[in-house]
Amino acid sequence: MHIPDGFLEPKILVSTSIISLAVIFLGLKKLKNIDINRIPLMGVLASFVFVVETIAFPVIGGTSVHLEGVVLTAVLLGPFSSSLIIFCVLFLQALLFQHGGIISLGTNFFNIGIVGSFLGYYIWKIRQTKIFASFATFITTIISAVLCSFELYFSKKLVLSVGLPTMLFSHLIVGIIEAVFVYSILSFIEKISPHILKFEKI
């Protein structure tokens, strides 16, 4: 979930933002002298993720879900590349759609970008199969939601007895949908254009 501004206490904002800054710094360093062909690829894929996240996928009862692409991006390009891409996506979502705050960007990036890109990537890396990618998607979705609840709890805005069940339950459904979706996208790619899966992962 993208937490808006005004809901989190300074200590949460600062601690998560420091970690986020460190990861971004590291990512920029790692990607400093990459092949030129990686640059437009990251740019266009970032646009792809941004656009896909605007597609509303209708679920039961008139509600709709927006798909995330974090684990997919990490599986395609690697954790640091994915982090930078997702950071930019989150930044623009906050800036242009007010989906998530600007000051809380560091926190949201921590929950969604770092967890999805790194934890998601390394879970997938165990076997590098579609199943593990789906599993990674599911787990990281749940963990993001749990982190969100804790951050709101430590900001004294939410008690865990309300926060955890709500977040867990809602993200259980989202997590399953996303996991299934990642599986089917990877199947599609394997069938039609498997060579893109061999791209170097940084």
Partner 1 sequence: MKHNFIDKYSSLSSLVHKIDTKIKLISFITIAIFVSFFGLSSKILVLLLLFLIFISQLAKIPVLFLLSRIFVILPFVCLISFSYFITKQNFLDVLNVVLKSYTIILSLLILIQTTKFNDLLTTLKSFKFPKFLLLILSFIYRYFFVLTDEVEKMTFAVKLKQQKKLNLKTLTKLVGVLLLRSYNRAEKINKAMILRGADRNL
Q: Which residues bind partner 1 (CB under 8 A)?
A: 1, 3-8, 10, 13, 24, 28, 31, 33-37, 39-48, 50-52, 54-55, 57-58, 67, 84-85, 87-89, 91-92, 95-99, 101-104, 152, 157-159, 161-163, 166, 180-181, 184-185, 187-189, 192-193, 196
Residues comprising the chain, all counted: 202
Nearer residue to partner 1 within complex by CB, 119 or 182: 182
Least Å distance between CB 92 and partner 1? Answer: 6
Comparison of 83 and 140: residue with beta carbon closer to partner 1: 83
**C-alpha span between 153 and 158 (Å, rounded):** 5
Long-range contacts of 183-189 (CB under 8 A, 24+ apart): 183/130, 183/131, 183/133, 183/134, 185/72, 186/72, 186/75, 186/130, 186/133, 187/130
Residue type, 31: L
- To the nearest whole angstrom, how small is the minimum distance from the Cβ of residue 115 to partner 1? 19
Q: What is the C-alpha separation between 141 and 111, in angstroms, rounded? A: 9
Least Å distance between CB 132 and partner 1? 19
CB of 68 to partner 1, least distance (A): 12
The CA R_g of the chain, rounded to the nearest whole Å, is: 16
Query: Are 130 and 163 within 8 A, CB to CB?
Result: no
> Which lies closer to partner 1 via its Cβ, residue 95 or residue 126?
95
Dist CA 202 CA 199 (whole Å): 9
- Strand ranges, E, within the chain: 56-58, 64-66
Are β-strands 56-58 and 64-66 bridged in parallel, bridged antiparallel, or unpaired? antiparallel
CB 162 to partner 1: min, Å: 4
Smallest separation (angstroms) from partner 1 to the CB of 24? 8
